[in-house]
């Protein structure tokens, strides 16, 4: 019996040593790198594209990258990033040659936004938004705006602060968080006449689903509908003081979701952060005033079609 226990102890010790060695290797090696695919791409810059790009950039990028004092996308500490991901800093994405993206080609920017792989091959962890499903026209607009002469993106020599990813982030980037493939076929914008399709497109590509599903660690950016608790709320984004603010249930459940809401009520909440007879919505829910009423109502029309989830969330 003692011999058996001794063998078990040796095996357990061996497993502990192996696991410890693997974790040490991952901790030291850090975020994985990948081969960079060389692609040909040049953004089409028109006044209309830049205007559209500004709208999308404000809604998708400014929260993390904009310095509130200078109103430039020079980067800042993401105090609302889940602490289990480490200490996260959004980089400078102005046109500064040393610290920004002035030396990045349009193709390199496109590849990063589509796949999550930087031009040096380093993978960008999940707190950097990827756009694998965004229409070609919209992603072109964002790149055109980033390379424009708009004051938000003109050169600003603010040095980047390196992000300090946690061991969990390093592990997840090897296990579940992987680069996305470059789209093989063109991705078209849905017709404005098809409100449900347009609403789905906006709800996915404005990243609404990630906050309003169950957990950031189980969202599926390639197919958002497969995210755990898809739009059922209960996720735990942080406010600017690091406090948890539970996300709302946006499924059409009548008791715990938005099943009894009207279109006007939804538009006011999404665009202005106002809900009648209730407290105004607060960060991390940011009013998307840039949306048109038609776009906001399209999101509502789509949300009414998704499966109901009964999940009462006490949003404070």
Q: Is residue 233 part of a domain?
A: yes
pLDDT for the residue 27: 66
Residues 151 and 54: their CA atoms lie apart, in Å, by 11
Q: Is residue 186 part of a domain?
A: no
pLDDT for the residue 79: 82
Band (pLDDT 50/70/90 cuts) for residue 212 is very high
Band (pLDDT 50/70/90 cuts) for residue 277 is confident
* Six-digit token string for 198: 């347009």
Same domain, 156 and 245: no
Same domain, 161 and 227: no
Residues 51 and 67: their CA atoms lie apart, in Å, by 21
Above pLDDT 70, what percent of the chain?
91
Final residue belonging to a domain, choices 175, 208, 229? 175
Average pLDDT score over residue span 119-124: 93
Same domain, 164 and 203: no
Final residue belonging to a domain, choices 116, 144, 175? 175
Same domain, 107 and 214: no
Same domain, 205 and 147: no
Q: Is residue 166 part of a domain?
A: yes
Same domain, 160 and 227: no
- The residues facing 87 across adjacent strands are 164
∠ CA 60-207-114, nearest 5°, is 75
Q: What is the CATH number for 157?
A: 1.10.760
Enter the pTM of the model.
0.89
Same domain, 123 and 217: no
Same domain, 76 and 144: yes
pLDDT digits (tens, 9 = 90+) for 27-63: 676 788 999 999 999 999 999 999 999 999 999 999 8
* Six-digit token string for 8: 């078990």
pLDDT digits (tens, 9 = 90+) for 134-186: 999 999 999 999 999 999 999 999 999 999 998 888 888 888 788 999 999 99
Name every residue whose Cβ is closer than 8 Å to that of residue 143 and which is 6 or more positions away in sequence: 43, 53, 106, 109, 110, 113
Same domain, 136 and 211: no
Name every residue whose Cβ is closer than 8 Å to that of residue 27 and which is 6 or more positions away in sequence: 167, 170
pLDDT digits (tens, 9 = 90+) for 65-86: 999 889 999 998 888 877 888 8
φ/ψ of 216, rounded to 5, equals: -60, -30
Same domain, 134 and 213: no
The answer on pLDDT for 224 being more than 90 is yes
Look up the domain containing 232 and give its range: 195-303
Q: Is residue 225 part of a domain?
A: yes
Q: What is the total count of domains within the chain?
A: 2
Name every residue whose Cβ is closer than 8 Å to that of residue 289 and which is 6 or more positions away in sequence: 271, 272
Q: Is residue 261 part of a domain?
A: yes
Above pLDDT 90, what percent of the chain?
66
Average pLDDT score over residue span 115-131: 88
pLDDT digits (tens, 9 = 90+) for 7-35: 666 666 666 666 566 555 566 767 889 99
Same domain, 167 and 207: no
Final residue belonging to a domain, choices 146, 175, 204? 175
Q: Is residue 33 part of a domain?
A: no
Band (pLDDT 50/70/90 cuts) for residue 275 is confident
24 or 284, higher pLDDT:
284
- What mean pLDDT is reported for the chain? 89
Q: Buried b / exposed e across 282-295, counting CB within 10 Å, b at 16+?
A: eeebeebeebeeeb
Place of tokens 């229409």: 135
* Six-digit token string for 145: 């705006």
Band (pLDDT 50/70/90 cuts) for residue 6 is low
Residues 99 and 95: their CA atoms lie apart, in Å, by 8
Average pLDDT score over residue span 252-280: 91
Name every residue whose Cβ is closer than 8 Å to that of residue 205 and which is 6 or more positions away in sequence: 131, 133, 134, 135, 138
Q: Is residue 10 part of a domain?
A: no
Same domain, 203 and 158: no
Band (pLDDT 50/70/90 cuts) for residue 125 is confident
Q: Is residue 63 part of a domain?
A: yes
């Amino acid at each position: 019996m003692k011999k058996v226990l001794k063998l078990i102890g040796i095996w357990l010790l061996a497993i502990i040593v192996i696991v410890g060695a693997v974790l040490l290797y991952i901790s030291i090696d850090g975020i994985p790198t990948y081969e960079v695919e060389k692609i040909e791409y040049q953004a089409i810059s028109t006044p209309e594209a830049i205007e559209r790009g500004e709208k999308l950039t404000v809604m998708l990028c400014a929260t993390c990258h904009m310095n509130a004092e200078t109103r430039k996308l020079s980067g800042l500490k993401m105090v609302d990033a889940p602490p289990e991901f480490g200490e996260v800093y959004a980089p400078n994405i102005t046109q500064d040659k040393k610290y920004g993206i002035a030396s990045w080609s349009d193709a390199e920017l496109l590849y990063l936004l589509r796949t999550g792989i930087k031009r040096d091959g380093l993978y960008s962890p999940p707190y950097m938004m990827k756009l694998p499903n965004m229409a070609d026209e919209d992603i072109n607009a964002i790149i055109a705006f980033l390379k424009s002469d708009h004051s938000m993106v003109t050169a600003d020599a603010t040095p980047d602060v390196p992000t300090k990813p946690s061991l969990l982030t390093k592990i997840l980037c090897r296990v579940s968080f992987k680069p996305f493939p470059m789209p093989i076929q063109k991705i078209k914008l849905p017709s404005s006449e098809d409100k449900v399709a347009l609403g789905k497109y906006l709800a996915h590509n404005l990243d609404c689903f990630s906050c309003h599903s169950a957990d950031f660690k189980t969202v599926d950016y390639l197919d958002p509908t497969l995210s755990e608790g898809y739009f059922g709320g209960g996720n735990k984004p942080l406010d600017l003081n690091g406090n948890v603010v539970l996300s709302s249930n946006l499924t059409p459940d009548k008791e715990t979701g938005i099943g009894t809401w009207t279109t006007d009520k939804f538009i006011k909440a999404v665009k202005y952060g106002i809900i009648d007879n209730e407290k105004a919505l607060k960060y991390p829910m940011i009013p998307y005033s840039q949306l048109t009423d038609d776009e906001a109502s399209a999101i509502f029309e789509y949300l009414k079609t998704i499966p109901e989830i009964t999940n009462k969330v006490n949003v404070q």
